[in-house]
Amino acid sequence: MLFSAHQLSCIRSDRVLFEQLDFAIDAGQIWQIAGRNGAGKSSLLRILAGLAEPIEGELRYKNQPLTQVQDEFATNLCFIGHLSGVQPQLTALENLAFWRACYALKPADDWALLAQLGLAGLEDIPCQNLSAGQHRRVSLARLWLTAAQLWILDEPFTALDVSAIAQLRQRFIEHCQHGGAIILTTHQALDLPEIPVQQLTLEYRW
């Protein structure tokens, strides 16, 4: 088992978002976290990524308590949340160079990658001047850079057009077919017959 959650409970602003939640994900799988706005989807993703603490419960990575293998887990995690992680004053090329340095990756043809992602001609423009969809494509470029096995993604399809959505779905398939795993929230239909998609629905609690 790659990653699992056991008896997780979360309270925000005196409201119980979820409690005694269990699930597990293995290599090659996708888990879609569903539910109404305010049900706790983003809070759950932040807990799973180690960015927030549950009120109760435990996370395990490769069958070991996460607290004992935090460095290994962090190395093998790619988290993209509501905040894109893009430095707006930097260009797309500069953002990719920054991420390569963070991941200790060798230099590569980032011009070609940005062209592949529909950003040809925009490589040297500060990201603050890009459209929402272009900005999102720069953010998601990390999914073509990282070697992390586990991806945790909060609404990755936001602001993308039809062609970019199809491209991202294909990247999901490739990642899982090579032993990766994905936990994500989305209001898009995933439509990935090649990959087993499990769904966890969080009920909205008053």
Q: Give the domain CATH number at 61.
A: 3.40.50.300
Tokens 């900005």 found at: 135
Residues 1 and 44 in one domain: yes
Looking at 127, 147, 167, the residue that finishes a domain is 147
Read off the pLDDT band of 191 (50, 70, 90): confident
pLDDT tens readout for residues 109-132: 999 999 999 999 999 999 999 999
Number of structural domains (the chain) is 2
pLDDT tens readout for residues 134-181: 999 999 999 999 999 999 999 999 999 999 999 999 999 999 999 999
Residues 158 and 70 in one domain: yes
Mean pLDDT of the chain: 95
Residues 142 and 157 in one domain: no
Provide the residue range defining the domain that includes 123. 83-147
Residues 1 and 70 in one domain: yes
**Pair of tokens at residue 64:** 């070991």
Looking at 96, 129, 147, the residue that finishes a domain is 147
Full DSSP string of 138-159:
HHHTHHHH---SEEEEESTTTT
Alpha-carbon span 64 to 1, nearest angstrom: 10
Contact 26, 181 (CB under 8 A): yes
Supply the pTM of this predicted model.
Answer: 0.95
Query: Distance between terminal CA atoms of the chain?
Result: 34
